[in-house]
Amino acid sequence: MEGNAIPVSESTNIIVKVSGDLFLHGEEQSEVRFISSEDRIRVNQTNENLYVETHASLDLSVPRGANVIIEKIGGSALVEDLDGSFLAQKVGGDLALRRLANVSIQKVGGTCLVEQVSGMLSAHKIGGDLTLRQVDGPVEVEIVGGQADLQLTEVGALNVRAGGDLTVYFTGSMGARSSLRAGGSMELFLPPNLDARFNLTSIGELIRLDFNRQEAVMRQEIEAREYEVSFGEGSAVIEARAGGDIMLTDREEEPEPISDQLDDREEAWKEASERRGFPSWSAGFGFDRSSAWADMISRRAQEAARRAEQRAQAAVRRTEAQIRAAAERDLRRGAWSGWSGPAPAPSPAPPPAEPVTEKERLMVLQMLQDQKITIEQAEKLLAALEGKFNR
């Protein structure tokens, strides 16, 4: 279906429900235009709302100032160039956004990429990875199933729980209180002249501090599970907990851009649209979702194995520290009793448990592929296998 155009007012809310993929873009116009890969499009218009629904994929052009509500997308979505509010309630695949004003995301099953948001952004639950770049307003992020890579100018209620690694680039104010949790490692890139207190917990028992732009230079490597460090009056409080290592630094470092990834998504859509009219044509981004799913599962398994290795290394470090402490006590006792002979050799450290085997990992992944367990259950099984390092 081509050439559909419906006039709308500036205050109209545009509500979209698509079973396939969606490319939604704002234009300087006073109407909504749509093209679907099938003829079945349901459109319902009232004074305040325009409802568009299709069981196929959809190319949707709307006024730049429109308020857009994504009710449900079965596949993936690319949304760009909106000056009004944007709400994504449920996206089954990936969600990519750029050049938007105010953004609210409730649930995304796959990866989420966001670039150039001039207002506030909130994200409740992202199943895959989350990457934010050039967000100028307050940011609120809650649950990220994979890795989180965030560039933040102004922080609102930052309460992040990432299943994988967490990287945050703070370039402006840090807010009164933040809670950061990562299943993997954590890296925080911080601005100069900090006024903050950090309460750090590293399950990997390795915390690195590298500060050159504060009142005092600080370079430390701390082999400990918990550590606290303050700058200025400590007005902002950051609670950070990581399954692996933690690094805090004020080193100036630019995050990796994501413009090319967003360009690739738009180009894939345009290439698919050029095939319109052929019997096999179906609009979309051309992503292999089964491959993306397998990659995500493989990455999570690798992260779990890496966390297990970090915990094993921490256990070895604890054992070595205990042996050193025992040897020092023996030496002190020997000196006190007048012993002049050689100090007794410390007992050798017990060998660490074997890491999670490839066979064990494959069994968990096979159960996941057969849909006998969920992703969360698979992660718990892998975590339970890792637990033998703590026995």
Q: For residue 184, what pLDDT is reported?
A: 93
Residue with token string 């779990």: 304
Q: For residue 346, what pLDDT is reported?
A: 54
Q: For residue 224, what pLDDT is reported?
A: 92
| Grouped pLDDT means (10 residues each) for the chain, 391 residues | 74 92 93 79 89 91 95 95 96 96 96 95 95 91 94 81 94 83 95 92 94 90 94 91 95 92 89 58 50 51 61 63 66 54 53 58 70 70 61 40
Q: What are phi and psi of 116, to 5 degrees?
A: 65, 80
Q: For residue 320, what pLDDT is reported?
A: 63
